[in-house]
Every structure is written in C-alpha cells, then in structure tokens.
Amino acid sequence: MNAPALQASARIIVSLIIISFFPFLFAGTFNFWQAWVFLALFSTAQTLIIRYLSK
Amino acid sequence: MEKRITQNILIFFMQTSFFSVLIVSGFAHARAWAPAPAFLTIAADLGVLLGLWIQWLAFKANTFASIVVAVIPTQRVVSSGVYAAVRHPMYSGLLLSNFFIPLALGSWCGMPLFLLMLAVVILRLLDEEKLLRQSLPGYEEYRQNVKYRIIPGIW
C-alpha cells in the first residue's frame, strides 16, 4: 500500500472509531456493553473492508 | 467527490440517518427506553456483520464500486458474484446492516430512523439506475437478466 492510500485508510479508520463512540457520548456512560460489542464488530469489519480496497 | 446536487443531498440524509441512530440509541440506553433483550442484540450484531459482509462481496465483485454515482470511460457491467443475484448488492448490505444497528445498540428506539435510510437509498438507487441506463453500455441487458434491485424475489 502506498503512503497516500495508507494515510487515507488511517483517516477513515480513525473516523469510524470516533463515530462508533457516539452512542457512549449520548448515553453519558461507558457502561454500555451493546455499544462496545458494536464498536468492536463494526470497526474490525470496516477496517478489513478498507484494507482490502486499499490493496 | 460527488458533483450532482441531488446525490449530495441524498448522501447528507444517509449520513444524518446513520448518526441519528447512534445518537438516539445512546439516549435510549441512558434512559432505558424500549430496551431490546440481550439475545436480540447479539442476533442484531450478526445481522450487522452479514450486511457488511454483503457489502464486502459487492466491493470484491465490482472494482468500479464507489460512493460517487458516475460512469467512467473504462467501466463495464459487472454481473458476477452477488451482482448475479441483485443489481445493487452494496445497498442490500448497507440496508441490512443499518436495519440491525438500533437493535445491536440495545434499543428499539432507533428503528423508525431506518425508514429514512430506506427512503434515501431507494431514491439514490433509482437515480443511479437512470444514469447507468443512459451511460453504461450493456446495463439495459443486465437489467433484463437480473430482475431484482436489492432483495431477491421481492424488489
């Protein structure tokens, strides 16, 4: 993967992780197992997709 | 970057719908509004993964797939893989994952927002088909062969 593609992928992945924290933000707590499971699954799946697309 | 204003508006509403589900689900959790049982939450997580997997299959089959609705000079019709089942598998996966996100976040409250996403995706899809029929050689024949847009046997 070249540097611009790597940077773009990194930006997208960081954005996705930030987005995934929205439920915690509006719940006002990190005691929210459903959001943790969602965050883990969603971020991992999106990262794999982005990695595949960046090849 | 999407240049057509209609598509920009539709993308804005798609993003709004997605963020709204996350926000509403967060609020709902804090106030214990319409909680979903744990088994349903886990099942919904699997539904989200299934939707993302379908999107990945669509990307894998179609190297021309992009957020921007446009036809490039080297583009050709892709009719293999998931594109043999429906004409817009990317949207099938997107709708499936978004349908399950509210329940995956533990509440029924975000479910009505899915209707906004559904409406926007349908509008985007119809607009996209119009462009593809006008600009992509072979698309009309593909349309005849693959009858369904997003749900096999239904629509």
Domain count, chain A: 1
Is pTM beyond 0.95? Reply is no
Q: Which residue has the higher pLDDT, A24 or B71?
A: A24
Q: Which residue has the higher pLDDT, B141 or B39?
A: B39
ipTM over 0.85: no
> Distance (Å, rounded) from C-alpha B66 to C-alpha B46?
25
- Is the pLDDT assigned to residue A1 strictly greater than 60? no
- Is the pLDDT assigned to residue B149 strictly greater than 80? yes
- Residue-wise pLDDT for B50-82, tens only, equals 999 998 898 888 776 665 666 666 677 777 778
> Distance (Å, rounded) from C-alpha A5 to C-alpha B154?
39
pLDDT of residue A48: 83
- Identify the residue among A9, A26, A54 best suited for mutation to test binding to B, counting B beta carbons within 10 A and taking the highest: A26
- Residue B130 Cα, gap to closest chain A Cα (Å): 27
> Distance (Å, rounded) from C-alpha B142 to C-alpha A42?
32
- Residue-wise pLDDT for B28-54, tens only, equals 988 888 888 999 999 999 999 999 999
pLDDT of residue A44: 86
Residue ranges covered by each domain of chain B: 5-68+75-145
pLDDT of residue B74: 66
Write out the DSSP string of A5-44.
HHHHHHHHHHHHHHHHTHHHHHHT-S--HHHHHHHHHHHH
Kindly list the residues from chain B whose CB atom is less than 8 angstroms away from the CB atom of residue A27. 26-27, 29-30
Closest by CA to B74, choosing from B83, B84, B63, B87, is B63
Any CB–CB contact under 8 A between B26 and chain A?
yes
| Helices A33-54 and B5-31, axial angle in degrees (round to 10) | 150
Of A29, A42, A52, the CB nearest to B59: A52
Any CB–CB contact under 8 A between B13 and chain A?
no
The number of helix segments (H) and strand segments (E) in chain B equals 5, 0
- Residue-wise pLDDT for B82-134, tens only, equals 888 899 999 999 999 999 999 999 999 888 999 988 999 999 899 888 888 88
What letter does residue B35 receive in the DSSP assignment? Answer: B
- Residue A12 Cα, gap to closest chain B Cα (Å): 14
Grade residue B3 by pLDDT with cuts at 50, 70 and 90. low
Residue recorded with tokens 């629509």:
B155
Grade residue B1 by pLDDT with cuts at 50, 70 and 90. low
- Is the pLDDT assigned to residue A8 strictly greater than 90? no
Q: What average pLDDT does the segment A2-24 reach? A: 75
Host domain of residue A15: 3-54
pLDDT of residue B87: 92
